[in-house]
């Protein structure tokens, strides 16, 4: 049984037994449900989810991966590091670990396998770095926590930003160490001697690829931190900005 259902049943049955009234138990359950789902902060979740879906569909995930790949492609274990860096960037416009995992499973895993990285490492890097979506704002989990803890969503976003960057850095350093200590587990090849020609992207193209991502980050997080938008308004503005990129 789902946790939410089990907790709700315990409360419902407990009130029913304690008050000896089914009507009171039903009324309290309805009131608790209504007060929770009508909380204005809950509007953030579908709005940020919409922004993440649109960003994924227009290919922003593959764009940030190409840029990260360009930066790390000649480092041992570089594709794993590129996956972590791309996940961190993509998390800043989706706020969802599930979205990050689904996108980079399709993008990063086949690319790492093509360059000889082991299946365990390729899948593990994507699964591990996808948790950055829970920390780096706009995180849906931080929104839910803010509601439960009765804290400011903006403050939660600020609190999650630095830990998210530290975790991403720790992942990259961990991959670097593992690439030198346990190269058989990671696999991969030396890009300088591999028959597959590494991709080269000019600085202008890098700026062009990262432009939409930077725009959404500045629009959403900048709007919240400067006080231009409330979190709900920032989610709507981010969704509108992502939809505008489609056209």
Q: Is 161 exposed, middle or buried (0-12, 13-18, 19+ CB in 10 A)?
A: middle
Per-residue pLDDT of the chain (247 residues), as tens digits, is 888 788 888 988 998 998 888 888 888 888 877 766 666 666 777 777 788 778 777 777 777 777 887 878 778 888 889 889 888 888 877 777 777 787 788 888 888 888 888 999 999 999 998 888 888 887 878 877 887 787 887 788 888 888 989 999 999 999 999 988 888 888 865 444 344 455 677 778 878 878 888 888 888 878 877 878 777 777 788 888 888 887 6
**96 Cβ neighbours under 8 A, 6+ residues apart:** 48, 49, 52, 133, 140
Candidates 70, 79, 95, 71; CA nearest to 242 is 95
Can you give the pTM of this predicted structure? 0.69
Domain ranges of the chain: 3-37, 40-246
Candidates 52, 232, 91; CA nearest to 152 is 232
**199 Cβ neighbours under 8 A, 6+ residues apart:** 66, 69, 70, 73
């Amino acid at each position: 049984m789902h946790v939410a259902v089990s907790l709700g049943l315990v409360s419902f049955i407990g009130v029913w037994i304690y008050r000896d009234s089914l009507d009171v138990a039903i009324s309290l359950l309805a009131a608790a449900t209504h007060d929770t789902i009508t909380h204005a902060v809950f509007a953030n979740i579908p709005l940020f989810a919409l922004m993440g879906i649109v960003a994924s569909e227009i290919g922003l995930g593959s764009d940030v991966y190409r840029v990260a790949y360009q930066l790390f492609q000649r480092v041992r274990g570089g594709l794993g590091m590129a996956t972590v860096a791309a996940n961190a960037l993509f998390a800043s416009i989706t706020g969802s670990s599930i979205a990050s995992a689904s996108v980079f499973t399709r993008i990063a895993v086949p690319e790492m396998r093509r360059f000889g990285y082991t299946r365990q490492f390729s899948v593990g890097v994507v699964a591990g770095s996808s948790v950055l979506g829970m920390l780096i704002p706009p995180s849906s989990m931080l929104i839910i926590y803010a509601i439960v803890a009765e804290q400011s969503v903006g403050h939660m976003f600020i609190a999650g930003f630095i830990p998210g960057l530290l975790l991403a850095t720790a992942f990259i350093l961990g991959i670097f160490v593992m690439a030198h200590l346990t190269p058989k587990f990671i696999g991969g090849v030396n890009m300088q001697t591999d028959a597959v020609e590494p991709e080269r992207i000019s600085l202008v193209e890098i700026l062009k690829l990262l432009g939409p991502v930077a725009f959404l980050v500045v629009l959403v997080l900048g709007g919240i931190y400067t006080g231009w938008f409330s979190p709900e308004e920032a989610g709507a503005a981010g969704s509108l900005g992502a939809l505008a990129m489609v056209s």
